[in-house]
Amino acid sequence: MAGLDPSRLPDHVAIIMDGNGRWAQRQGLRRVEGHARGVQSVRQTVEECCRLGITQLTLYCLSSENWKRPRDELDFLMALLSQFLIQERELLMRQNIRFQVIGRREGLSEPVLEEIRQSESLTRDNTGLLLCLAINYGARTELLDAFRKMASQVKLGTLEPESINEATVSESLYTAGMPDPDLLIRTAGEMRVSNFLLWQISYAELWVTQRCWPEFDIPTLHSALADYSLRQRRFGGLPGQSNP
Protein backbone atom coordinates (compact mmCIF):
# COMPACT_ATOMS: atom_id res chain seq x y z
CA MET A 1 0.00 0.00 0.00
CA ALA A 2 2.67 2.46 -1.09
CA GLY A 3 4.39 2.23 2.31
CA LEU A 4 1.21 3.00 4.24
CA ASP A 5 0.61 1.11 7.47
CA PRO A 6 -2.94 -0.34 7.24
CA SER A 7 -3.27 -0.25 11.03
CA ARG A 8 -2.64 3.52 11.06
CA LEU A 9 -5.10 4.52 8.34
CA PRO A 10 -8.20 6.58 9.20
CA ASP A 11 -11.58 4.85 9.14
CA HIS A 12 -13.42 7.91 7.84
CA VAL A 13 -11.95 10.47 5.45
CA ALA A 14 -13.85 13.68 4.64
CA ILE A 15 -12.79 16.01 1.83
CA ILE A 16 -13.67 19.62 1.03
CA MET A 17 -13.18 19.56 -2.74
CA ASP A 18 -12.16 23.13 -3.50
CA GLY A 19 -10.58 24.96 -6.42
CA ASN A 20 -12.36 23.57 -9.48
CA GLY A 21 -13.12 26.99 -10.90
CA ARG A 22 -9.69 28.42 -10.10
CA TRP A 23 -7.98 25.46 -11.74
CA ALA A 24 -10.04 25.93 -14.90
CA GLN A 25 -9.33 29.66 -15.07
CA ARG A 26 -5.60 29.01 -14.77
CA GLN A 27 -5.89 26.70 -17.78
CA GLY A 28 -7.81 29.32 -19.75
CA LEU A 29 -11.00 27.26 -19.51
CA ARG A 30 -14.51 28.02 -18.35
CA ARG A 31 -15.16 27.42 -14.63
CA VAL A 32 -17.52 24.55 -15.40
CA GLU A 33 -14.68 22.66 -17.08
CA GLY A 34 -13.01 22.48 -13.68
CA HIS A 35 -16.06 20.73 -12.23
CA ALA A 36 -16.05 18.23 -15.10
CA ARG A 37 -12.34 17.52 -14.56
CA GLY A 38 -12.96 17.16 -10.82
CA VAL A 39 -15.12 14.09 -11.47
CA GLN A 40 -11.95 12.21 -12.44
CA SER A 41 -10.43 13.07 -9.08
CA VAL A 42 -13.58 11.80 -7.36
CA ARG A 43 -13.47 8.52 -9.25
CA GLN A 44 -9.82 7.73 -8.55
CA THR A 45 -10.11 8.80 -4.90
CA VAL A 46 -13.12 6.53 -4.37
CA GLU A 47 -11.38 3.58 -6.00
CA GLU A 48 -8.19 4.08 -3.99
CA CYS A 49 -10.11 4.36 -0.71
CA CYS A 50 -11.80 1.07 -1.58
CA ARG A 51 -8.43 -0.54 -2.27
CA LEU A 52 -7.01 0.73 1.01
CA GLY A 53 -9.97 -0.48 3.05
CA ILE A 54 -11.18 2.96 4.19
CA THR A 55 -14.57 2.57 5.87
CA GLN A 56 -16.17 5.87 4.78
CA LEU A 57 -15.41 8.68 2.36
CA THR A 58 -17.48 11.87 2.64
CA LEU A 59 -17.20 14.45 -0.14
CA TYR A 60 -18.45 18.05 0.11
CA CYS A 61 -20.06 18.47 -3.30
CA LEU A 62 -22.47 21.40 -2.97
CA SER A 63 -22.92 23.65 0.04
CA SER A 64 -26.17 25.39 0.87
CA GLU A 65 -24.31 28.66 0.20
CA ASN A 66 -23.34 27.59 -3.34
CA TRP A 67 -26.81 28.50 -4.60
CA LYS A 68 -25.49 32.07 -4.81
CA ARG A 69 -23.39 31.08 -7.83
CA PRO A 70 -24.42 31.92 -11.43
CA ARG A 71 -27.44 29.97 -12.67
CA ASP A 72 -25.61 28.46 -15.64
CA GLU A 73 -22.93 27.05 -13.34
CA LEU A 74 -25.54 25.58 -10.99
CA ASP A 75 -27.43 24.02 -13.91
CA PHE A 76 -24.17 22.48 -15.12
CA LEU A 77 -23.44 21.11 -11.65
CA MET A 78 -26.87 19.49 -11.40
CA ALA A 79 -26.51 17.92 -14.86
CA LEU A 80 -23.01 16.73 -13.98
CA LEU A 81 -24.28 15.20 -10.73
CA SER A 82 -27.04 13.30 -12.53
CA GLN A 83 -24.57 12.05 -15.12
CA PHE A 84 -22.13 10.98 -12.41
CA LEU A 85 -24.77 9.02 -10.51
CA ILE A 86 -25.84 7.18 -13.65
CA GLN A 87 -22.35 6.44 -14.95
CA GLU A 88 -20.86 5.35 -11.63
CA ARG A 89 -23.51 2.82 -10.62
CA GLU A 90 -21.52 0.03 -12.22
CA LEU A 91 -18.50 1.06 -10.14
CA LEU A 92 -20.60 1.25 -6.98
CA MET A 93 -21.84 -2.30 -7.44
CA ARG A 94 -18.52 -3.74 -8.65
CA GLN A 95 -16.68 -2.27 -5.64
CA ASN A 96 -19.45 -3.16 -3.16
CA ILE A 97 -19.86 0.56 -2.29
CA ARG A 98 -22.83 1.82 -0.30
CA PHE A 99 -24.00 5.24 -1.45
CA GLN A 100 -25.68 7.91 0.67
CA VAL A 101 -26.42 11.64 0.40
CA ILE A 102 -26.65 14.11 3.29
CA GLY A 103 -28.10 17.61 3.13
CA ARG A 104 -31.46 19.18 2.54
CA ARG A 105 -33.16 17.73 -0.52
CA GLU A 106 -35.48 20.68 -0.94
CA GLY A 107 -34.23 22.76 -3.87
CA LEU A 108 -32.75 19.83 -5.78
CA SER A 109 -34.46 19.06 -9.08
CA GLU A 110 -36.65 15.98 -9.35
CA PRO A 111 -34.34 14.31 -11.94
CA VAL A 112 -31.41 14.66 -9.53
CA LEU A 113 -33.49 13.41 -6.60
CA GLU A 114 -34.59 10.39 -8.62
CA GLU A 115 -30.99 9.44 -9.46
CA ILE A 116 -30.03 9.84 -5.79
CA ARG A 117 -32.90 7.59 -4.70
CA GLN A 118 -31.99 4.96 -7.28
CA SER A 119 -28.32 4.86 -6.26
CA GLU A 120 -29.15 4.74 -2.56
CA SER A 121 -31.69 1.95 -3.08
CA LEU A 122 -29.48 -0.09 -5.41
CA THR A 123 -26.49 -0.04 -3.04
CA ARG A 124 -28.36 -0.27 0.27
CA ASP A 125 -27.17 -3.80 1.02
CA ASN A 126 -23.56 -3.31 -0.07
CA THR A 127 -21.02 -3.81 2.70
CA GLY A 128 -17.88 -2.05 1.47
CA LEU A 129 -16.91 1.62 1.52
CA LEU A 130 -19.67 4.06 2.44
CA LEU A 131 -19.51 6.88 -0.11
CA CYS A 132 -21.35 9.87 1.33
CA LEU A 133 -21.97 12.97 -0.78
CA ALA A 134 -22.86 16.22 0.97
CA ILE A 135 -25.22 17.99 -1.43
CA ASN A 136 -27.10 21.19 -0.58
CA TYR A 137 -25.42 20.76 2.79
CA GLY A 138 -24.58 23.26 5.52
CA ALA A 139 -23.54 22.29 9.03
CA ARG A 140 -25.42 25.12 10.73
CA THR A 141 -28.57 24.09 8.86
CA GLU A 142 -27.96 20.50 9.91
CA LEU A 143 -27.70 21.57 13.55
CA LEU A 144 -30.87 23.66 13.28
CA ASP A 145 -32.73 20.68 11.84
CA ALA A 146 -31.38 18.49 14.65
CA PHE A 147 -32.48 20.97 17.33
CA ARG A 148 -35.95 21.21 15.77
CA LYS A 149 -36.21 17.43 15.69
CA MET A 150 -35.29 17.17 19.36
CA ALA A 151 -37.64 20.04 20.27
CA SER A 152 -40.51 18.22 18.54
CA GLN A 153 -39.71 15.06 20.49
CA VAL A 154 -39.71 17.02 23.74
CA LYS A 155 -43.05 18.60 22.82
CA LEU A 156 -44.52 15.16 22.11
CA GLY A 157 -43.20 13.86 25.40
CA THR A 158 -40.96 11.23 23.81
CA LEU A 159 -37.74 12.96 24.89
CA GLU A 160 -36.89 14.46 28.26
CA PRO A 161 -34.76 17.64 28.08
CA GLU A 162 -32.58 16.36 30.93
CA SER A 163 -31.73 13.22 28.94
CA ILE A 164 -30.31 15.10 25.94
CA ASN A 165 -26.59 14.43 25.60
CA GLU A 166 -23.96 14.31 22.86
CA ALA A 167 -25.26 10.96 21.63
CA THR A 168 -28.78 12.39 21.34
CA VAL A 169 -27.52 15.24 19.18
CA SER A 170 -25.44 12.91 17.01
CA GLU A 171 -28.43 10.67 16.43
CA SER A 172 -30.46 13.69 15.28
CA LEU A 173 -27.97 14.80 12.63
CA TYR A 174 -28.04 13.88 8.93
CA THR A 175 -25.04 11.64 9.67
CA ALA A 176 -26.83 9.53 12.30
CA GLY A 177 -25.23 6.11 12.45
CA MET A 178 -22.03 7.22 10.73
CA PRO A 179 -18.64 7.47 12.46
CA ASP A 180 -17.13 10.93 12.86
CA PRO A 181 -14.37 11.80 10.36
CA ASP A 182 -10.85 10.96 11.48
CA LEU A 183 -9.18 13.00 8.74
CA LEU A 184 -10.45 16.16 7.03
CA ILE A 185 -8.68 17.06 3.78
CA ARG A 186 -9.07 20.43 2.09
CA THR A 187 -7.72 21.30 -1.33
CA ALA A 188 -6.69 24.63 -2.93
CA GLY A 189 -4.85 25.83 0.17
CA GLU A 190 -7.85 27.31 1.97
CA MET A 191 -7.50 27.31 5.78
CA ARG A 192 -11.14 27.08 6.84
CA VAL A 193 -13.81 24.39 7.25
CA SER A 194 -16.57 26.26 5.38
CA ASN A 195 -19.57 25.13 7.42
CA PHE A 196 -18.79 21.44 6.86
CA LEU A 197 -19.59 18.80 9.50
CA LEU A 198 -18.98 21.25 12.35
CA TRP A 199 -20.20 18.86 15.06
CA GLN A 200 -18.60 15.77 13.55
CA ILE A 201 -15.07 17.12 12.97
CA SER A 202 -14.50 18.20 16.57
CA TYR A 203 -11.52 15.84 16.86
CA ALA A 204 -10.66 15.28 13.19
CA GLU A 205 -7.09 15.73 12.02
CA LEU A 206 -6.84 18.51 9.38
CA TRP A 207 -4.67 18.30 6.27
CA VAL A 208 -4.50 21.02 3.59
CA THR A 209 -2.92 20.84 0.15
CA GLN A 210 -2.23 23.71 -2.24
CA ARG A 211 -3.42 21.53 -5.10
CA CYS A 212 -6.86 22.31 -6.50
CA TRP A 213 -9.33 19.45 -6.59
CA PRO A 214 -8.83 18.61 -10.30
CA GLU A 215 -5.13 18.14 -9.46
CA PHE A 216 -5.83 15.84 -6.50
CA ASP A 217 -4.41 12.41 -7.34
CA ILE A 218 -3.49 9.16 -5.63
CA PRO A 219 0.00 10.32 -4.55
CA THR A 220 -1.60 13.38 -2.92
CA LEU A 221 -4.10 11.16 -1.11
CA HIS A 222 -1.25 8.94 0.03
CA SER A 223 0.61 11.99 1.35
CA ALA A 224 -2.41 12.96 3.44
CA LEU A 225 -2.80 9.42 4.78
CA ALA A 226 0.91 9.10 5.54
CA ASP A 227 0.89 12.38 7.46
CA TYR A 228 -2.19 11.27 9.39
CA SER A 229 -0.52 7.98 10.32
CA LEU A 230 2.29 9.88 12.07
CA ARG A 231 0.01 11.98 14.25
CA GLN A 232 -0.83 11.19 17.85
CA ARG A 233 -4.51 11.69 18.52
CA ARG A 234 -5.14 12.67 22.14
CA PHE A 235 -8.84 13.70 22.11
CA GLY A 236 -8.07 16.30 24.78
CA GLY A 237 -6.04 13.90 26.91
CA LEU A 238 -2.31 13.41 27.42
CA PRO A 239 0.11 11.09 25.63
CA GLY A 240 -0.23 7.54 26.88
CA GLN A 241 -3.82 7.94 28.03
CA SER A 242 -6.45 5.72 26.44
CA ASN A 243 -8.71 7.44 23.90
CA PRO A 244 -12.48 7.11 23.68
The residue from 18, 20, 136, 182 that is catalytic is: 18
Closest CA to 56 of 152, 148, 183, 164: 183
3-state DSSP helix/strand/coil % of the chain, to nearest 5 = 50, 15, 40
**HEC per residue, 54-82:** CCEEEEEEEEHHHHHCCHHHHHHHHHHHH
Which residues contact residue 214 at a Cβ distance below 8 angstroms, ignoring those fewer than 6 apart? 19, 20, 23, 24, 34, 37, 38, 40, 41
Pairing state between β 205-208 and 183-186: parallel
182 part of the active site: no
Annotation marks residue 66 as catalytic: yes
- Tell me the CA end-to-end span of the chain in Å, nearest whole number: 28
Active-site option among 20, 66, 72, 136:
66
Q: Which of the residues are catalytic?
A: 18, 66
